[in-house]
Amino acid sequence: MSEWNTTTLGGLCSSGGGSIQTGPFGSQLHAEEYSAAGVPVVMPQDIGENTIRTAQIARVPESVAERLGRHRLATGDIVFSRRGDVTRRALVRENNVDWLCGTGCLRVRPGSAVDSQFLSYLLGTTDARDWLLGNAVVTNMLNLNTTILGRLPLAVPPLSEQRAIAEVLGALDDKIAVNTAIAERAEDLAALTYDSIVASWPRVAISSVLDPILGGTPTRAREEYWASGDQLWISARDITSAPSRVVYDTAEKITTTAIAGTKAKALPAGSVILTARGTVGEVGRLARSASFNQSCYGFRPDTIPPGLLYFAILRATGRAKAVAHGSVFDTITKTTFDHLDLAWDANRAAAAEGAIAPLLDVVSATIVENRNLAATRDALLPQLMSGKLRVHDAEEAASRAGA
């Protein structure tokens, strides 16, 4: 630890020719300039756990990106959310080069004095997150600026050790990335299989074969419904953040007392959840039994088996969005399902499920492995970043985890 350098993020960046810069303001990038194709623009909602998510990323024409050239991203940059969850950050990798740092984000360009991958992990430690949460400006939500981010205190080892630490943690993340790609390909194949099989099936109203179940929120005034709860309870954010739309965990949990005494009834694994208010039309399938709030509808895999149920609801999502209504937010009500249909043939369902389920099982298995890999990475992270664990010992732990 004697060779570790105590500094700040701003000092570390400037010592190697780097910088911290705010993304373009709204006056520089107007809503009408976004387009269906073009250069991706990284917004706060696109920042995952040290990665950039692209499922709903916005884009602008190349001409707009050229005008905003100073906000282009380069390999090794780190993008921060400037408001809301100010601890979210993502390392810019080769496939993100020349994308734009968007409105609501900050771009950290580490420079040559620090290994950028190491820095991205260091900025994800509990100490760094806690400092940011404690020093962000509080208005209607937490806000960061370049000054605050630049003051973030850091302790960094020599470059050689930085790279060794980054290599260990990166091996775990690389395995997670491979698993994620496998999951995506397996789901794509399952979707193609489903579409091919049901193409000739008759279509029936969703409400004629399924009973949409509206969730509920136990009152927070009753401590026994929430204190030390260990039962999954889903809100829309759990659906939108679920990898490959498979829900294994939730941000909040309730007690068995809440399940027994309120409308927050639990559905079994294999059930499908559809968000119906605010964030409309997002779909998740349950890996474990879970309850859910009143902004969601649940569907049990009783009449329709789990794999077919998942794709039937997923395919209906576009139609649900088209007929959604509401004065403030688009919403899906129970009557919406009278106007939506799905492909259904009870006589051929079992054979179809037999073709689809193994592919979805691959998706689920990779997500389980990724959860274990991420747990290993997160356990190693503070030990390596504090110098309490040496790289050689961490390499053995990573190897045992499958990296």
Q: What pLDDT, in 10s, does the model give residues 56-90?
A: 899 999 999 999 999 999 999 999 999 888 999 99
Rounded CA separation 354/402 (Å): 30
Q: 5-156, which class in CATH?
A: alpha beta
Residues of the chain with CATH 3.90.220.20: 5-156, 202-344
What value does the mean pLDDT of the chain take?
A: 91
Q: Is the pLDDT of residue 195 over 90?
A: yes
Percent of the chain scored above 90 by pLDDT? 76
Amino acid in the structure at residue 221 = A
Count CB atoms within 10 A of the CB of residue 387. 15
The pLDDT, as a whole number, for residue 1 is 55
H-helix or E-strand spanning residue 399: helix 391-401
Task: For residues 12-31, give the mean pLDDT.
Answer: 92
* CATH, domain range 202-344: 3.90.220.20
pLDDT tens figures, 235-271: 998 998 899 999 999 999 999 999 999 999 999 999 9
**Res 328: pLDDT:** 44
Residue 395, pLDDT score: 72
- The DSSP string of 175-229 is HHHHHHHHHHHHHHHHHHHHHHHHTTS-EEEHHHH---EE-----TT-HHHHTT-
The first and second tokens of residue 217, run together, are 């929120």
Q: What is the pLDDT of residues 287-346, one digit of tens each?
A: 999 999 999 999 999 999 999 999 999 999 876 666 655 544 477 888 888 888 999 999
pLDDT for res 323: 60
* Structure-token pair, residue 88: 């979210």
List 5's β-bridge partners, or say none.
156
pLDDT value of position 294: 94
Percentage with pLDDT > 70 across the chain: 96
Predicted TM-score (pTM) of the model is: 0.80
C-alpha span between 107 and 52 (Å, rounded): 13
Quick one: pLDDT at residue 196? 98
* Cα 83-85-91 angle, rounded to 5 deg: 95
Q: Is the pLDDT of residue 10 over 80?
A: yes
